[in-house]
Every structure is written in structure tokens, then in C-alpha cells.
Amino acid sequence: MNPLIERIGHCVERGKVNKSSPYPVDMRGHDGADELTRQALDAAIGPDAILQACHEGMQRIGEKFSRSEVFVPELLMAAKAMNAVMAHLKPFFQSGSVKTKGKFIIGTVSGDLHDIGKNLVAMVVEGNGWEVIDLGVDVKATRFTEIVKENPGCVVGLSALLTTTMATMSTTVQEIKAHFPDTNVIVGGAPLSSAAAEKMGADGYAPDPQGAVAFLRKLSIHE
């Protein structure tokens, strides 16, 4: 692997955004994801190779998060580093020279305004090569179905933190399935469990961002 590619993946994993970023301390003063991506493109390294390095970096930090070896701040910094890379790669996505793995629609269900968990999942999923459409919080079932209709073949992620919104989440799953029975729906949030997800009629349950990535990876393999 090209050393520049390896360094980009390492910067994403460690959350090293750019040279001026003081975090992480042991990489202070080093080029970050921003500078290294620019150097890689200038060296005629393809955007696909750069993107793959980012995917691997995000996967490593996501797995560490799942094992409680790192925490939310580290995951957020990794996402910032990933965004620095994506700023350089955006033109390639727009031109169609780089393809995403698919579209992932995510939102917190109606009646729930919590978004930290949703945001983490969105960032990690995007870092693993999916186009993320974030509908925000307090999203009604009809809004989900509208966006699913506009994006055939997408996968939907529903988030909730409040126990009181479990009934709303269940209704939302059923609404999506009634209109688009082939659409895969994954749910997550503190009150959830695999059993609760199955009872709702969801196709999967993710206890953390890496769980959502694992679910999406299985879908890609089966396609």
C-alpha cells in the first residue's frame, strides 16, 4: 500500500484533521487528513484508493468504540478527519467517478429530540462509504416514506432514546413496510433490543454505530 494512503487511514482512525490540529497530542505538528489527501491527489493516487483507506480507518475506530476502547470524543474527531478527506473527494462523487455503496436514510422518530446517537451512526456509516440522508429529529412516519419513495433501494435507520417513543418507532417501521415492503429498516437506541426490533417488524437492530455498519455490510454481501 502507498505510504500516503496508509497515513490517511491512520489520520482518520486517530482523528488527526490537519496539521494545525492539536489532537491527538502525539501527532501534533504532523500533516493531517486534509494535507495528506491533497498530496495523494497531486500524486495521481485515485480517489477510490483514498476512500478505501478512510473506510478502513473508520472501521477500526468503530470497532474500538464497540469494545469501549475509545469513546464519543474520539469517534467525533475521527468523523472530522473523515470530513476533511471528503471535502477533497466531493467533486469526484459529483462527477460519478466514485460510487457510494448505497443510500442510508436516518432520523430520530417523531416525539424524540435526541440526536447524539443518530449523529454518530450517520458519521460512521458515511465513513464506510454510504451516502447518508439525515432527516434530523422528531421525524414523522410520513416523512420517512416520502424520502424512501424518492430514493428506491435505500436502507432506513430509525433512532430513539425515549422509552415513550417505542410505540412511535414501531408505527414508523410498519408504515414504511406497508408502502415499501422490500426496504430494509434497522433500529437502534438505548431502550431497544433485538427482541424489540423483531417485534416491531424491523430487519435489524444495532446497539452502536459499528452494528449498523455490520448490518449494511451483510446487505451488500447478499445483493
For the chain, the first-to-last Cα distance in angstroms comes to 28
Q: Residue 8 belongs to what domain range?
A: 3-95
- Of 36, 60, 95, which marks where a domain is finished? 95
Whether omega for the bond prior to residue 24 falls within 30 degrees of 0, making it cis, is: yes
Domain match, 109 and 218 both: yes
Angstrom distance (rounded) from CA 205 to CA 189: 9
Put residue 99 in one of left, alpha, beta given phi > 0 → left and psi -120 to 50 → alpha: beta
Question: Taking residues 175-204, what's their average pLDDT?
Answer: 96
Contact between 128 and 102 under an 8 Å Cβ cutoff? The reply is no
Among the candidates 95, 113, 131, a domain finishes at 95
- Same domain? 28 vs 75: yes
What local confidence, expressed as pLDDT, does residue 6 receive?
96
d(CA 76, CA 37): 19
pLDDT at position 15: 96
CA dist 184 and 151 (Å) reads 13
Per-residue pLDDT tens digits for 95-131 = 777 778 899 999 999 999 999 889 989 988 888 889 9
Residues 117, 34 share a domain:
no
Same domain as 191, residue 108: yes
Domain count, the chain: 2
Q: Are 206 and 62 within 8 A, CB to CB?
A: no
**Whole-angstrom distance, CA of residue 175 vs CA of residue 131:** 23
Tell me: do 58 and 122 sit in the same domain.
Answer: no
Q: Is the pLDDT of residue 8 over 80?
A: yes
180 and 122 part of one domain: yes
- CA gap 106, 12 in Å, rounded: 23
- Residue 182 maps to which CATH number? 3.40.50.280
Query: Domain check: are 192 and 173 in the same one?
Result: yes
| Identity of residue 116 | I
Task: List residues bridging with 92 in a β-sheet.
Answer: none
Is there a single domain that holds both residue 110 and residue 191? yes
**What pLDDT is recorded for position 222?**
57
109 and 79 in a common domain? no
Q: What is the pLDDT of residue 223?
A: 57
Domain boundary among 68, 95, 122: 95
CATH number at residue 34: 1.10.1240.10
The predicted structure's pLDDT at residue 157 = 98
Determine the Cα–Cα distance for residues 7 and 30; give it in Å rounded to an integer: 11
pLDDT digits 0-9 by tens, 123-170: 888 888 899 999 999 999 999 999 999 999 999 999 999 999 999 999
Asked if 188 and 131 sit in the same domain, the reply is yes
| Radius of gyration of the CA atoms of the chain, in A | 18
Amino acid at 110: S
Q: Which pLDDT belongs to residue 187?
A: 98
- Sign of the torsion angle spanned by Cα atoms 57, 62, 63, 69: positive
Co-location of 76 and 110 in the same domain: no
pLDDT digits (tens, 9 = 90+) for 45-83: 999 899 889 989 988 998 898 899 999 899 889 989 998
Cα separation values, 166 from 105, 145, 173, 187, Å: 19, 18, 11, 10
215 and 108 within one domain: yes
In single-letter form, the type of residue at position 214 comes to A
The pTM (predicted TM-score) of the whole model is 0.80
Report d(CA 25, CA 107) in Å as an integer.
34
